[in-house]
């Protein structure tokens, strides 16, 4: 049967599949946060960041650029690196605040969380508008304007990671003792996202890999992510 015009082969669909996996990972992070499994929640965001890297890598290796893929990637980034980290952070700092019976502070702490999610959406919208007229296969800049969404999500969750390290050594939680510190940190990261700060980009890194070997490269990268996850079945 002849191939229909505009139909997509599996290699062309792979970047979108990786994007969808990253989206599911970000949403799963919210689920773990609701169940107070904080380390798994943060791990889900890290996995989403890995698949965000893989979908871009696969698009370049397989020359599978599409407008649909670009829009899907932005929507997935908004959820995985905007909404999910915001909710995880808020739920995490809510616990120590409730212990000291200062629930009124939660209303104020919610404001920077909203700011982060909004700035994430603004940054991704600006990125799409700035690159609307560019070629789908080549970018004219070797840097991002403002901190990228995955990096901002990592910065937002850094205090939680610091708390995890302290807990491993039997030390008191930093955020439990100084929960207000997260307010300034969230605001700072939010501003960095919508700033004009040049941030290094891998977009112009070229890969001279034959198409028939690209699948093997992607398989190796995916296996690396699996090892990083330490065989945790985070979607179950």
CA atoms 136, 140, 142, 143: torsion sign: negative
Query: Is residue 131 pLDDT above 90, yes or no?
Result: no
CATH number of the domain that residue 163 is part of? 1.20.120
List Cα–Cα distances, 20 to 27, 79, 80, 137, 206, in angstroms. Answer: 11, 11, 10, 21, 24
Residue 46 belongs to a domain: yes
Q: Mean per-residue pLDDT for 43-64?
A: 83
- What is the DSSP secondary structure assignment for residue 2, as one 8-state letter? P
List Cα–Cα distances, 192 to 69, 81, 122, 179, 208, in angstroms. Answer: 26, 14, 12, 21, 34
Measure the CA angle with vertex 50, ends 140 and 235; round to 5°. 145
Q: How far apart are CA 120 and CA 104, in angstroms?
A: 26
Neighbours of 36 (CB within 10 A): 11
Query: Is residue 9 pLDDT above 70, yes or no?
Result: no
- Helix crossing, 38-62 with 10-34: angle to 10°? 170
Burial of 129 (0-12, 13-18, 19+ CB in 10 A): exposed
Q: Confidence class of residue 81 from pLDDT cuts 50, 70 and 90?
A: very high
Query: Is residue 234 pLDDT above 50, yes or no?
Result: no
The rounded Cα 192 to chain-centroid distance in angstroms is: 15
Q: What is the pLDDT of residues 114-128, one digit of tens each?
A: 999 999 999 988 888
Provide the pLDDT for residue 140. 46
Residue 234 belongs to a domain: no
3-state secondary structure of 35: coil
Residue 5 belongs to a domain: no
Run of H or E residues at 145: strand 143-145
Q: How many domains are contained in the chain? A: 1
Residue 29 belongs to a domain: yes
Residue 23 belongs to a domain: yes
Q: Confidence class of residue 139 from pLDDT cuts 50, 70 and 90?
A: very low
Residue 195 belongs to a domain: yes
Strand partners, 199: 144
- Helix crossing, 67-78 with 10-34: angle to 10°? 10
Provide the pLDDT for residue 98. 65
- What is the DSSP secondary structure assignment for residue 79, as one 8-state letter? I
- What is the DSSP secondary structure assignment for residue 8, as one 8-state letter? -
Residue 59 belongs to a domain: yes
Instruction: Answer with the residue of higher pLDDT: 96 or 46.
Output: 46
Q: Confidence class of residue 235 from pLDDT cuts 50, 70 and 90?
A: very low
Residue 194 belongs to a domain: yes
For residue 143, the enclosing domain spans 11-228
Provide the pLDDT for residue 197. 82
């Amino acid at each position: 049967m002849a191939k229909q015009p505009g139909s997509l082969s599996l290699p062309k669909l792979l970047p979108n599949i990786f994007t969808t996996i990253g989206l599911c990972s970000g949403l799963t992070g919210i689920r773990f946060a609701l169940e107070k499994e904080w380390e798994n929640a943060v791990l889900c965001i890290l996995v989403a960041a890995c698949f965000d890297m893989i979908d871009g890598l696969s698009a370049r290796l397989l020359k599978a650029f599409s407008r649909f893929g670009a829009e899907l990637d932005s929507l997935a980034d908004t959820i995985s690196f905007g909404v999910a980290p915001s909710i995880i952070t808020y739920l995490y700092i809510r616990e120590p605040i409730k212990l000291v019976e200062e629930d009124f502070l939660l209303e104020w702490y919610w404001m920077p969380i909203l700011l982060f999610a909004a700035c994430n959406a603004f940054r991704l919208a600006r990125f799409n508008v700035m690159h609307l007229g560019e070629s789908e296969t080549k970018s004219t800049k070797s840097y991002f304007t403002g901190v990228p969404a995955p990096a901002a999500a990592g910065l937002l969750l850094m205090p939680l990671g610091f708390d995890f390290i302290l807990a491993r050594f039997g030390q008191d939680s930093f955020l439990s003792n100084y929960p207000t510190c997260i307010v300034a940190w969230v605001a700072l990261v939010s501003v960095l996202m919508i700033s004009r700060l040049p941030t290094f980009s891998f977009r112009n890194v070229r890969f001279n890999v034959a198409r028939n070997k690209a699948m093997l490269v992607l398989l190796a990268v995916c296996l690396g992510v699996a090892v990083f996850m330490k065989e945790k079945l985070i979607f179950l």
